[in-house]
């Protein structure tokens, strides 16, 4: 038995141990993957190869997702890196460089995002191609991945169901893992949360690995009010690439997150939501086989991937002077795919067969009523992080009920094919998906069959200009939570509906792009209509249900420009050798969303513009980011109006010597007070904060 202390109460309960098997599996995997490390010969790299630019090369960008090859032929694809960040406290900071992405819901380490007004289960997050799925209504968060493990992100806005299935109606983000080629140590610190970060990476033979430890206390907003956004995180990542054999790559990641605070406007007067434990164990194995379907010895190999993701989440909700609700959820997600490509009459053809499943998707809940007690209790610690003598206001928790609120599984089988070809100045691509899914809660089975597809074309107008158009269909089956969950959440009681209809959508977007030696950019116009739109609606003060709306539309326009002073321009200035150069990125978005009655729908983010300006010379890089977020007055149920706000970040990176770099930044420099999103439970954003980071090559 383990005793946990909370404000106004003391609770004794057994610690959930269902994840012990996963830890054992991870340990076995680590032994398997690290075996080549211990047997590898010593690296005989000579000292002269460890040159001054080694620090810039200890990571390289990974390959983009397989589907980008086809999509890139018909409209621009975008990736973003960490070059303008210092010790990022959350992976979302990297994603927010895209004009299509905004924060969604409430704050903290389990903060979520939206893409062009789509959020929750309507967008797909991936880690190197492994889907991240959550049974939380807010959707999956990638906060369990340390930013030091990630080199960059690939963003696919717009309907991507053809490649990624039900969870990608609004688009997808793929976190790209770094490849370590040299041992390095990173140390970081942030003033607002007094956050600490330590990351160590190494490389030996064909194996590289990362170890990260991060911890942050409760931060504060611009007015000095406490934000409940504390966290502690330990993570390990290992990857092995054999030189021979059908196995091309295998990696695994384990992340243990504990004592996570939910930054909400309910804190601390109304309710305190804590995630005592959040664990993730996931991995992927990639194979290449001879193509048994072709007699042509030059044909492409069969490419196959096997992946898994086991997760647990504990939630503790304290309603002061009233009750405590606790839940423990777990799930095993897994998948397998096999595919190949070929040239057929000048067409590039790709195909893939996918099998995906979710097993053991369970949520156990219990409620404890707080009964007044005359007994004097001295509480030494609590989720709030403060001591409290509760002689006159003390409560004893009594078990009110204990039940399983979700026990379900899911199986999906899909076939995908696409084809692309270039006709002179015009490129054409199209593809389709046939998807079958079965969902079950041991009492009721629901099967769904869906077809989705896309067609797009891009035409080169001149050496610098190109135009494209993209038409796609998408679908989203109701999640297991929407169908089968009935229980308590931080917002109150929520009831699922097994008879919900599948969302169907049509997406149309057109773009105009430009590219020259020093400037590239694009403007994209998009319109998406969703039928049977699923939303959570309130039926009483503390009860909400899921239901289908008739339809909803989301439309908008986004743009992004990326400029870097060309070498020719630098030379034309007749300056001395070693002169630096300027760079800038400018992007923005305008989005509008409404249902068929003309009412606003939830999660439509405010219009925003973002400007990054910097200068780099020799070993020094200076950068600044100015973000303008417009006001939002057209709000949906569960949202609040927002005022406009402008924030400013500045930073610098200095390569102190060939093996050491120093970074510093000052975020929210003007200390603006603003909500992180339009969610009516969202807390204020962090106030000004100074970050410091050191990187050492070992």
Tokens of 272: 């305190």
Which residues on neighbouring strands pair with residue 188, listed in sequence order? 197, 693
Whether the bond between 429 and the residue before it is cis, its omega within 30 degrees of 0, is no
Fold observed for domain 2-40+71-697: Maltoporin; Chain A (2.40.170)
On whether the CB atoms of residues 693 and 82 are closer than 8 A, the answer is: no
Q: Spell out the residues 6+ positions from residue 45 whose beta carbon is closer than 8 angstroms to its own.
A: none
Block means of pLDDT (10 residues each) for the chain, 698 residues, are 35 38 42 37 36 37 61 80 79 90 87 89 92 86 92 86 88 88 91 93 91 94 94 96 92 96 87 93 92 57 94 91 89 95 90 94 90 53 41 70 91 95 93 95 89 94 94 92 78 81 93 93 93 81 81 93 79 61 95 88 91 93 96 89 95 92 94 93 93 93
Tokens of 696: 């050492």
Residue bearing tokens 């990608």 = 168
| Cα 315 to Cα 540: distance, rounded to the nearest angstrom | 24
Give pLDDT, residue 107: 82
Give pLDDT, residue 615: 95
Give pLDDT, residue 130: 94
Give pLDDT, residue 674: 95
Alpha helix ranges (H) inside 406-479: none
Residue by residue, DSSP assigns 21-64 as HHHHHHHHHHHHHHHHHHHSPPP---GGGS-TTGGGGSEEPPPP
Tokens of 375: 């007994």
| Cα 464 to Cα 130: distance, rounded to the nearest angstrom | 36
pTM, rounded to two decimals: 0.84
| Cα 148 to Cα 407: distance, rounded to the nearest angstrom | 35
The residue extents of the domains of the chain are 2-40+71-697
Q: What b/e string do you get for 392-412 counting C-beta neighbours within 10 Å, with b at 16 or more?
A: eebbebeeeeeeebbbbbbeb
Whether the bond between 268 and the residue before it is cis, its omega within 30 degrees of 0, is yes
* 3-state SS, one letter per residue, for 640-661: CCECCEEEEEEEEEEEEECCEE
Angle at 557 between CA 555 and CA 561, to 5 degrees: 160
Give pLDDT, residue 373: 67
Give pLDDT, residue 204: 87
Tokens of 264: 């909400």
Give pLDDT, residue 349: 92
| Cα 606 to Cα 101: distance, rounded to the nearest angstrom | 11
The number of residues in the chain equals 698
Tokens of 204: 């030996």
Longest dimension (CA), the chain: 85
Answer positive or negative: Cα dihedral of 15, 20, 21, 22. positive
Give pLDDT, residue 444: 83
């Amino acid at each position: 038995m383990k005793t946990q202390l909370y404000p106004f109460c003391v609770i004794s309960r057994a610690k959930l141990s269902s994840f012990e098997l996963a830890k054992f599996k991870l340990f076995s995997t680590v032994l398997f993957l690290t075996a080549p490390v211990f047997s590898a010969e010593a690296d005989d790299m000579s000292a002269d190869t460890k040159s001054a630019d080694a620090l810039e090369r200890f990571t390289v960008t990974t390959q983009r997702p397989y589907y980008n090859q086809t999509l890139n032929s018909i409209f621009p694809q975008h990736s973003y890196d960490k070059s303008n960040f210092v010790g990022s406290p959350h992976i979302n900071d990297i994603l927010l460089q895209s004009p299509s992405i905004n924060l969604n819901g409430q704050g903290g380490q389990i903060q979520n995002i939206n893409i062009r007004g789509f959020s929750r289960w309507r967008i797909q997050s991936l880690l190197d191609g492994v889907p991240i799925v959550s049974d939380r209504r807010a959707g999956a968060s990638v906060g369990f991945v340390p930013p030091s493990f990630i080199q960059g992100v690939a963003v696919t806005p717009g309907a991507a169901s053809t490649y990624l299935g039900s969870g990608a109606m609004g688009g997808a983000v793929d976190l790209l893992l770094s490849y370590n080629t040299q041992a390095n140590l990173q140390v970081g610190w942030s003033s607002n949360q007094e956050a600490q970060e330590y990351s160590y990476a190494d490389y030996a033979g064909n194996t590289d690995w990362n170890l990260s430890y991060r911890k942050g206390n409760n931060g504060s907003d611009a007015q000095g009010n406490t934000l409940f956004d504390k966290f502690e995180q330990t993570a390990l990542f290992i990857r092995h690439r054999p030189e021979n054999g059908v196995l091309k790559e295998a990696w695994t990641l384990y992340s243990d997150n504990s004592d996570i605070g939910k930054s909400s406007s309910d804190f601390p007067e109304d309710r305190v939501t804590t995630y005592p434990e959040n664990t993730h164990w996931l991995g992927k194995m990639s194979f290449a086989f001879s193509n048994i379907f072709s007699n042509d010895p030059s044909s492409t190999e069969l490419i196959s991937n096997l992946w898994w993701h086991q997760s647990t989440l504990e939630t503790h909700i304290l309603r002061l002077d009233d009750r405590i609700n606790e839940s423990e959820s777990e799930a095993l997600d897994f998948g397998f795919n096999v595919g190949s490509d070929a040239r057929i009459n000048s067409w590039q053809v790709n195909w893939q067969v996918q099998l995906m499943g979710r097993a053991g998707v369970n949520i156990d809940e219990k409620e404890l009523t707080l009964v007044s007690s005359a007994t004097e209790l001295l509480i030494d610690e609590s989720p709030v992080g403060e001591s409290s003598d509760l002689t006159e206001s003390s409560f004893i928790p009594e078990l009110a009920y204990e039940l399983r609120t979700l026990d379900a599984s899911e199986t999906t089988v899909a076939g995908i094919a696409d084809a692309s070809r270039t006709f002179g100045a015009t490129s054409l691509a199209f593809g389709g998906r046939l998807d079958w899914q079965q969902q079950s809660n041991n009492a009721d089975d629901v099967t769904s069959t869906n077809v989705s597809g896309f067609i797009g074309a891009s035409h080169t107008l001149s050496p610098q200009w190109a135009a494209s158009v993209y038409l796609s269909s998408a679908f989203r089956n109701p999640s297991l939570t929407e169908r089968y969950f009935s229980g308590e959440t931080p917002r109150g009681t929520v009831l699922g509906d097994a008879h919900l209809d599948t969302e169907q959508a049509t997406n149309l977007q057109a773009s105009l792009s430009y590219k020259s030696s020093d400037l590239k950019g694009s403007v994209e116009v998009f319109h998406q209509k969703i039928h049977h739109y699923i939303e959570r609606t309130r039926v009483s003060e503390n009860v909400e249900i899921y239901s289908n709306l008739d339809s909803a539309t989301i439309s908008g326009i986004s743009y992004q420009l990326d400029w870097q002073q060309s070498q020719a321009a630098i030379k034309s200035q007749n300056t001395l050798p070693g002169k630096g150069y300027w760079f800038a990125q400018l992007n923005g978005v305008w989005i509008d969303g409404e249902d068929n009655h003309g009412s606003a729908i939830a999660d439509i983010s405010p219009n925003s513009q973002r400007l990054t300006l910097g200068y780099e010379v020799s070993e020094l890089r200076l950068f600044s980011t100015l973000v303008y977020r417009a006001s939002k007055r057209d709000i949906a149920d569960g949202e609040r109006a927002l005022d406009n706000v402008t924030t400013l970040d500045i930073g610098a990176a200095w390569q102190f010597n060939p093996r050491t770099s120093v970074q510093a930044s000052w975020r929210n420099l003007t200390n603006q007070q603003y909500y992180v999103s339009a969610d009516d439970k969202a807390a204020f954003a962090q106030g000004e904060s100074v970050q410091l980071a050191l990187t050492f090559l070992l």
